[in-house]
Amino acid sequence: MNILVPIKSVMDVELNIRVKDGRVVEEGINYILSKWDENAVEGALQIKEQVGAGEVTVVSVGPDRAGESLRKALAMGADKAIHVNDPAAEGSDSLGIAKILAAVARKGAYDLILTGKQAQDTDQGATGPILAALLDWPLAVNVQSIAADAPSKLTVQRLGHAGKEVLEVTLPAVLTANDSLNEPRLASLRGIMQAKKKPFEALKLADLGIAPGDVGAAGARVQVVEILPPAGRAAGKKFEGEAEEITRQVVALLADEAKIFA
């Protein structure tokens, strides 16, 4: 089972994010492997272990810092890394990224593409579904469990509109990972050492047969014009004291001040 895991290096959103002059302030920002992509790496490793054969290849489209996330995935146990590191790819929208990933996918012989359900910076969840459409592969998003118990089919549990769905998905397919899929393993020191010897391929757009104008900021059909701080909330009132007393107080305020029981 050969699995391709697209990953993204993103700003750590757990940190204090500051906005100035229409952009996020870069100073003091850490870049990390987007957490749902980390679940995808772990998911791929577990499937490989379940099946007992195959390779896990991680791929990332991004500048130099994406290399760190790729190395982390290799240290976790991925077999190969592909880094599409081309300035002409900078500023790509989801469609652009998906086109690049589709070209990477077509260069190999993958049975499964597993990626995070959304990236921690955009929270859009577009890349996986667009990639599936470009390749004309079946898609299941927000996946909670994956079982490779039949050849060329996966039994997948996902969280959908109506509740937990059990799906049978024919390979090759694209799946996106929910964080309840697994608890990602920590890279061991041995893993980190071994990662340095694993195949790490750096590619340019030309290697994938992609014209620069098709992707990147030049080709982007969607552009972020401005970043703004979120709409603020006025400070609220906090009540401490004897439980019955303060509850009575608050309910009275909700009735008289906020008027929510009308």
Partner 1 sequence: MPKVLIVAETKGGAVRKPTLEVLSKARAAGLPTAAVLIGGGVKGRADALAGQGAATVYVADDASLADFSLDRYAAAIQDAAQRAGATQIWLSVSEMTKALAPALAGRMDGAYVSDALALEIAGDELTVTRPAMATKVLQKVKFAKPGLRIVSIRSGAFDVTPAQPKAATVVDLPLPPADTRVVLKQVLQEETGEVDLGEAAMVVSVGRGVKGPEGVELVRPLAKLLGAGFGSSRAVVDSGWMPYAAQVGQTGRVVTPDVYVAIGISGAIQHLAGMSGSKLIVAVNKDPDAPIFSVADYGIVGDLFKVVPVMIAEIKKHKG
Residues 120-139 that bind partner 1 (CB under 8 A): 120-134, 138-139
Q: Return the residue of 44, 74, 112, 169 that touches partner 1, per CB under 8 A.
A: 169
Site for partner 1 (CB under 8 A): which residue of 58, 88, 103, 141?
Answer: 141
Encoded tokens for 117? 């359900």
Stretch near partner 1 under the rule CB under 8 A, chosen from 45-53, 76-84, 107-115, 227-235: 227-235
Q: Tell me which residue of 88, 84, 79 sits closest to 67, measured CA to CA.
A: 84
The CB-of-110 to partner 1 minimum distance in angstroms stands at: 16
How deeply is 248 buried, as exposed, middle or buried, from its count of CB atoms within 10 A (0-12, 13-18, 19+)?
exposed
DSSP H helical ranges for 1-157: 35-51, 66-76, 94-107, 127-135
Q: Could you say whether residue 166 binds partner 1 (CB under 8 A)?
A: yes
**Is-contact 122 10, C-beta < 8 A?**
no
Which one, 145 or 194, has the nearer CB to partner 1?
A: 145
CA 159 – CA 170 distance, rounded (Å): 19
SS3 213: helix
**CA gyration radius, the chain:** 22
- Evaluate whether 199 touches 81 at the Cβ level (below 8 Å): yes
Choose which of 147, 150, 202, 246 interacts with partner 1 (CB under 8 A).
Answer: 246
Using the contact rule CB under 8 A, the part of the chain among 1-9, 67-75, 205-213, 222-230 near partner 1 is 222-230
3-class SS of residue 156: strand
- Does residue number 253 form part of the binding site for partner 1 (CB under 8 A)? yes
Check residue 140 for interaction with partner 1 (CB under 8 A).
yes
Is 145 an interacting residue with respect to partner 1 (CB under 8 A)?
A: no
Asked whether position 29 contacts partner 1 by CB under 8 A, the answer is no
Decide whether 193 or 222 has the Cβ nearer to partner 1: 222
Q: Does 213 bind partner 1 (CB under 8 A)?
A: no
Residue 193 or 224 having the CB closest to partner 1? 224
Question: Any contact of residue 109 with partner 1 (CB under 8 A)?
Answer: no
How many Å apart are CA 111 and CA 174, to the nearest integer? Answer: 9
Nearer to partner 1, 49 or 183 (CB): 183
